[in-house]
Structure 1
């Protein structure tokens, strides 16, 4: 609806789908993990934004702004409504003012304190809409043109809609056909009854003419006009009995054209934002009524054709859900990948993954960047429809408890270990070599990728454990580090991982664990990368989970205690600028590549 030169939208949907230039996040600046608007926004924005909020303070009625992080906007405005209607109103006004000062053209605002705050939706609606109105009327807006209030729950949406109609006017309520109401009248000595049809219908003119005996009441009701709020029928007959019969037939004809359909709550809740918008649009345009009954089921009422359209819409949505469920299940079992323009493998979207697996590619595919390709599954190649560029496809079969890394070659269940010699012209080879050559002047002869299914499964389980325990900011602390080795130890490491029992063979300055260097030059020293008879040396490029780390000591066999009963996850030589990491858990490192150099 228009409000003093700007557009105010009430949107029944999820704020994380918004693409406005400013996004408002409602938070208490303490709890960022409880499900709700705040958690959804911060999950999309990323841990760096949550880190900025931790310990932040904003005066009552004031806004704390941060960059957008991963959210597709220009700024995020964090507010605390304090469950106080006056504060909420002040915040709504201040949001308008700051958007104008920041030259933002659009802003998305949630129902502040109507969710986790549990305030009455009507109170929240009144506070926000009044604050927006005062903010708009009190400023000569040059930049802000679009204010979107995003409402996740249907009862909150309807409360805002009713309040906005009272405050701003306009046709904003959902309408639905209502029963015919009979009102007796007298016309020039004849019996007459006025029948009013509530709903959005066009005004009809009454005529003092007798109704034809063979009137088709069904066709009359079907063609009911549809713009004004009330249609009146004046039924005139020679006797009361004639009029009553005619009215009864007309009422029955109306009832015959109406129907009701009931949906379970989960059928409605699983609709996407686009499908929900379509549903509300149909309910509004077809003059239907949708509401929850005492069993919390959703009932749609109105003319049969309109109800049937809604039923078809929701059935299509359910078919989509079944299809998406099949796609998700397949995606966990089989992953199709396409080699990107910079030589890096990328997963295709789930629906494309499903099409490739079902060999339904006659119309081509579209990758995650919306580039269209034709596909040759015999050659496992894809050709760009625009540029004609040809690239590779590959298919990975995942075990039930592990998703194969996207850069691996496919492995069968019986292939527990594969050692793949990398092509020197590949991006993967060049990337590994570049990290090595950054600090080592020696010549790289060969780089091999180590694909050990069992070791990777244990490593990924440990990674998930550390991520859950350490939270978003520190997480597992995965790093790419180096470990020099001998030809004798090389095969053992590839098969059974780095072994802490060998600690002490070269050094135990920081503890009895497995040592990894930040710089390849340290691991390239002959003490660690022991030269073979032909003077070649070996070095592993390892993925290492460092998590929380502390300063190491020579007598340590486990990391020191961090917060009882938890220990640190690793130790280092220097906590401010570590060049060496030591881990004490066999699964906390994975030998990713083996470099042969001389």
Structure 2
């Protein structure tokens, strides 16, 4: 049950499909294989202009590429119509994929504020934002269904976990989720994945929630698919086949480490200061 790259590629295909066709024969459209589909989508979300893959240069801005002297056009199609979004979300247009919504009052605000007052009494909340990302949410729900089918007798999802981050990572997380390439640099004690904590005090530490030049810090409140857990250790890069995440303590876990990009959803971004 450990994750392979093909698991993520298969899940991504349920969200978005990239296809191509000879510009002289537009009716003869073909789907990219899963691996290329995944690489194109990640490059697109990261706003890259081009992608180089196996001696082919894909022009993402112009949605085209050349192969053996022939020019091909590309098309990106999303499969999000049937996915229900949370009731707490603000309305979004059919073509609106990402919306960052200020939360200024109500139960959402009160719950987060109460957690700060209880655990970080000296900190001041500057703003709370709800992350509404249809693509990320769809991928998270698809993986959740997979977990629930495979792990029937355990709690697969933990809500209200925390992830501290630096300002430079916020845009990437909001658009593409918790990618290990920029989320897993500060902590490695329990594996080389993305870290989430049940204790907000841990994630609010300056090591993880790095202050910017004005002393402003950022932390996400997340839902995480933890599934079947194993004890993590330094140097862990790939989970054993029967596990879905690593933890600091099997009996009473506080730290969870994930190794799959769709395994967590960033519900809220809280911007705050220590004083």
TM-score above 0.5:
yes
Sort the Cα spacing of 1:544 and 1:485 in 2 relative to 1 into closer, same or farther, 3 A. Answer: same
SS in 1 for 2:266: strand
User: What does residue range 307-386 of structure 1 map to in structure 2 within 5 Å?
Assistant: none
Give the CA deviation at 1:479: 2.7
Query: Normalised by the size of structure 2, how large is the TM-score?
Result: 0.67
**Over the residues paired in the alignment, what is the CA RMSD in angstroms?**
1.6
SS at match of 2:143: helix
Alignment partner, residue 592 of structure 1: 267
1:418 is the counterpart of 2:99 = yes
- Which structure is higher in strand share? 2
* Distance in 1 between residues matched to 2:95 and 2:109, nearest whole Å: 27
Query: How far off is 1:500 after superposition?
Result: 1.2
Q: Does residue 1:560 correspond to 2:240, yes or no?
A: yes
- Out of 386, 408, 418, the position equivalent to 2:89 is 408
Instruction: Give the Cα separation in 2 of the matches to 1:531 and 1:467.
Output: 38
Do 1:538 and 1:596's aligned partners in 2 also have CA atoms closer than 8 Å?
Answer: yes
Q: In the aligned structure 2, how far is the partner of 1:503 from the partner of 1:412?
A: 30
User: Among residues 122, 125, 142, which one is paired with 1:444 in the alignment?
Assistant: 125
Q: Show structure 1 runs of 4+ deviating over 4 A.
A: none
Can you list the C-alpha shifts for 1:131-165, whole angstroms capped at 9, x where unaligned?
Answer: xxxxxxxxxxxxxxxxxxxxxxxxxxxxxxxxxxx
Counterpart among 533, 549, 564 of residue 213 in structure 2: 533
1:505 aligns with 2:180: no
- The corresponding residue for 1:581 is 256
Could you tell me how far apart the structure 1 residues matched to 2:148 and 2:215 are?
Answer: 41
Aligned partners of 2:169 and 2:182 also within 8 Å: no
Contact preservation (8 Å) 1:512, 1:555: yes
Q: Distance in 1 between matches of 2:269 and 2:183?
A: 20
1:559 Cα offset (Å): 1.9
Match of 2:226 in 1: 546
Quote how far apart the aligned CAs of 1:588 are: 0.4
How much has 1:504 moved relative to structure 2?
A: 4.8
Q: Which residue does the alignment assign to 1:74?
A: none
User: How far has the Cα of 1:475 moved from its partner?
Assistant: 4.5
How far residue 404 of structure 1 moved from its aligned partner, in angstroms, is: 0.9
Counterpart contact for 2:231–2:248, Cα < 8 Å: yes
Task: Quote how far apart the aligned CAs of 1:444 are.
Answer: 1.0
- Is contact 2:165-2:183 (8 Å) kept? no
8 A contact 1:479–1:546 mirrored in 2: no
Query: Which residue does 2:246 correspond to in 1?
Result: 571
Could you tell me the TM-score, scaled by structure 1's length? Answer: 0.32
Q: 1:432 to 1:585 in 2, by over 3 A?
A: same
8 Å contact kept, 2:127–2:272: yes
The CA deviation at 1:536 is: 1.0
Gaps of 5+ in 1: 1-398, 562-566
2:115 aligns with 435
CA 1:503–1:405 in 2, change beyond 3 Å: closer, same or farther?
closer
Paired with 2:182 and 2:176, the residues of 1 have a C-alpha distance of: 13
Provide the secondary structure at the position in 1 that maps to 2:262: helix
Counterparts of 1:506 and 1:522, CA distance in 2: 13
Distance 1:587 1:477 in 2: 13
Once residues 267 and 218 of structure 2 are traced to their aligned partners in structure 1, the CA distance between those partners, rounded to angstroms, is: 13
Map of 2:53 onto structure 1: none
- Secondary structure of the residue that 1:438 maps to in structure 2? helix
**CA–CA distance in 1 between the matches of 2:94 and 2:117?**
36
Instruction: For residue 587 of structure 1, give the secondary structure of its aligned residue in structure 2.
Output: coil
Q: Quick one: distance in 1 between partners of 2:192 and 2:231?
A: 13
Instruction: Report the count of equivalent residues.
Output: 194
CA distance in 1, matches of 2:173, 2:114: 23
Of Structure 1 and Structure 2, the greater helix share is in: 1
Q: Structure 1 residues 590 and 554, CA, compared in 2 at 3 Å: closer, same or farther?
A: same
TM-superposed CA distance for 1:400, in Å, is: 2.4
Unmatched tracts of structure 2, length 5 or more: 1-79
Deviation at 1:477, TM superposition (A): 2.6
Distance verdict in 2 for CA 1:475–1:524, change over 3 Å: closer
Superposed displacement of residue 503, structure 1: 5.4
Task: Give the aligned partner of residue 151 of structure 2.
Answer: 470
- Partner Cα separation in structure 2 for residue 544 and residue 522 of structure 1: 17
Q: Which residue of 1 aligns with 2:34?
A: none
Structure 2 matches for 1:234-253, cutoff 5 A? none
Determine if contact 1:466/1:475 at 8 Å carries over to the other structure: no
Q: Is the 8 A contact 1:468 1:475 kept in 2?
A: no
Determine the C-alpha separation between the residues in 1 that align with 2:155 and 2:218.
31
